């Protein structure tokens, strides 16, 4: 059985195995700046396109784009998860394709289909890629990408869509600053006493994480963070709505006050730990769900951890919650010895 060792969180030798993934997390802001600079001139073409009949998004982070655009987009918006395009898409519609991380065959098919139908297209992909081979149409705008960072590419696309008056204002420079701040606060070189991600890893050391985010964006971040916990630790981790998490919290076995969480826990007896991603959304239903989760957790003596951020734009808050959770997943894996062999 793997035992969590909190001493490894400040042990540079133990952290060395996780250096590649920690470095990639820390460089998120730099990648966003690179992608923004590369797209600076091509994006200007979006200012002159006519208002489309509808917007169809395909590829990586399409649902993130939908979460940002749906509340404000002046035309219907569809995040299309299938190969090809809906049968009704034509020359009056805008197809947004995000392929910064590769050329999946279905995505190539979608971009080629958009070109064949004469649709307006906005494509984020490397300039030398199979997807780019289908972007020669005059009605297509190519935003060149270089880092394979799907989130950075999506933020650049959002910025371009704002220029086309189809989405909210996004300041990539401020989003990159928010990413840099998380990287500084959650650095492997910052010790446990002042590192929110290491503290969170310690809080979930003996738990099955249950992750909740109330707003649309916080809920998306919760799913990504839960995926990172599962991949990094091999443990069950669930992101779900409050009504789905409450029965699990209510069914938690009573805590043994004499148990040592680092030596006495066996996987079958591991209790849930609640992680709340709070982006400060003041919607009445979201706050009620938040209060309900805290009440049930307290009643069942379930530990609650919170990642909170209430300043800045929606995207700034989103990346802060997401990146902090990603750092925590890595540190939890480090504490469990999954990145090293000591």
What pLDDT was estimated at residue 263? 55
Indicate the pLDDT class of residue 260, thresholds 50, 70 and 90: low
What pLDDT was estimated at residue 188? 94
Indicate the pLDDT class of residue 131, thresholds 50, 70 and 90: confident
CA angle 189, 191, 196 (to 5 degrees): 105
Report CA-CA distances (Å) from 250 to 243, 271, 274, 288.
11, 11, 12, 17
CA distance linking residue 111 with residue 102, whole number of Å? 13
What pLDDT was estimated at residue 342? 40
For residue 229, give the nearest of 187, 200, 193 by alpha carbon. 200
Structural domains in the chain, sorted by start: 6-27+175-335 (3.40.50.10490), 50-163 (3.40.50.10490)
First to last CA, the chain: 15
pLDDT for residue 98 is more than 50: yes
Q: With helix as H, strand as E and coil as C, how does 53-116 read? A: CCEEEEECCHHHHHHHHCCCCCCCEEECCCCCCCCCCCCCCEEEEECCCCCCHHHHHHHHHHHH
User: Percent of the chain at pLDDT above 70?
Assistant: 93
- Span 169-179, mean pLDDT? 96
What pLDDT was estimated at residue 176? 98
CA angle 117, 118, 122 (to 5 degrees): 110
Contacts of 24 (CB under 8 A, 6+ apart): none
For the record, the structure tokens of 136 come out as 């020669």
For residue 124, give the nearest of 139, 137, 143 by alpha carbon. 143
Task: Choose the weakest-confidence range: 7-21, 184-198, 312-326.
Answer: 7-21
CA distance linking residue 325 with residue 197, whole number of Å? 7
Place of tokens 């000591």: 342
Taking the model in full, what pTM does it have?
Answer: 0.91
CA distance linking residue 121 with residue 97, whole number of Å? 8
Strand partners, 141: 122
Task: Choose the weakest-confidence range: 23-32, 138-147, 149-158, 173-182.
Answer: 138-147
Cβ-count burial of 181 within 10 angstroms (0-12 exposed, 13-18 middle, 19+ buried)? middle
Calculate the average pLDDT of the chain.
90
What pLDDT was estimated at residue 340? 65
What pLDDT was estimated at residue 145? 94
Contact 25, 290 (CB under 8 A): no
What pLDDT was estimated at residue 55? 95
Contact 3, 262 (CB under 8 A): yes
Task: Choose the weakest-confidence range: 168-177, 246-255, 258-267, 271-280.
Answer: 258-267
User: pLDDT for 69-82, tens place per residue?
Assistant: 988 999 999 998 88
**Number of neighbours of residue 310 by Cβ within 10 angstroms:** 11
User: Percent of the chain at pLDDT above 90?
Assistant: 71
What pLDDT was estimated at residue 185? 96
What pLDDT was estimated at residue 187? 95
Contacts of 71 (CB under 8 A, 6+ apart): none
- Span 265-269, mean pLDDT? 52
For the record, the structure tokens of 214 come out as 């109330």
């Amino acid at each position: 059985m793997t035992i969590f060792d909190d001493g490894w969180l400040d042990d540079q030798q133990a952290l060395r195995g996780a250096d590649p993934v920690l470095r990639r997390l820390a460089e998120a802001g730099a990648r966003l700046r690179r992608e923004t600079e590369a797209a600076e001139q091509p994006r200007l073409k979006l200012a002159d396109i006519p208002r489309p009949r509808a917007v169809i998004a395909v590829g990586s982070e399409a649902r993130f784009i939908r979460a940002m655009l749906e509340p404000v987009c002046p035309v219907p918006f569809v995040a299309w998860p299938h190969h090809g395009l809906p049968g009704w898409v034509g020359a009056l519609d805008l197809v947004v394709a995000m392929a910064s991380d590769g050329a999946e065959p279905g995505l190539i098919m979608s971009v080629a289909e958009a070109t064949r139908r004469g649709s307006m297209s906005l494509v984020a992909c490397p300039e030398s890629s199979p997807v780019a081979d289908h972007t020669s149409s005059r009605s297509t705008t190519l935003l060149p990408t270089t880092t394979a960072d799907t989130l950075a590419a999506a933020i650049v696309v959002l910025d371009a869509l704002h220029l086309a008056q189809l989405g909210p204002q996004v300041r990539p420079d401020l989003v990159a600053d928010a990413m840099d701040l998380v990287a500084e606060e959650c650095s492997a070189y910052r010790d446990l006493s002042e590192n929110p991600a290491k503290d969170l890893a310690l809080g979930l050391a003996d738990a099955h994480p249950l992750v909740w985010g109330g707003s649309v964006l916080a809920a998306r971040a919760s799913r990504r963070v839960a995926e990172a916990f599962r991949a990094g630790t091999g443990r069950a981790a669930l992101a779900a709505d409050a009504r789905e998490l409450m029965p699990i919290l209510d069914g938690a076995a009573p805590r043994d006050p004499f148990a040592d969480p680092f030596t006495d826990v066996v996987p079958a007896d591991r209790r849930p730990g609640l992680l709340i991603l709070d982006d400060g959304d003041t919607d009445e239903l979201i706050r009620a769900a938040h209060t309900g989760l805290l009440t049930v957790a307290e009643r069942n003596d379930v530990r609650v951890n919170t990642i909170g951020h209430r300043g800045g734009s929606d995207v700034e808050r989103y990346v802060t919650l997401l990146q902090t959770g990603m750092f925590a997943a890595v540190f939890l894996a480090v504490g469990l010895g999954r990145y090293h062999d000591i």
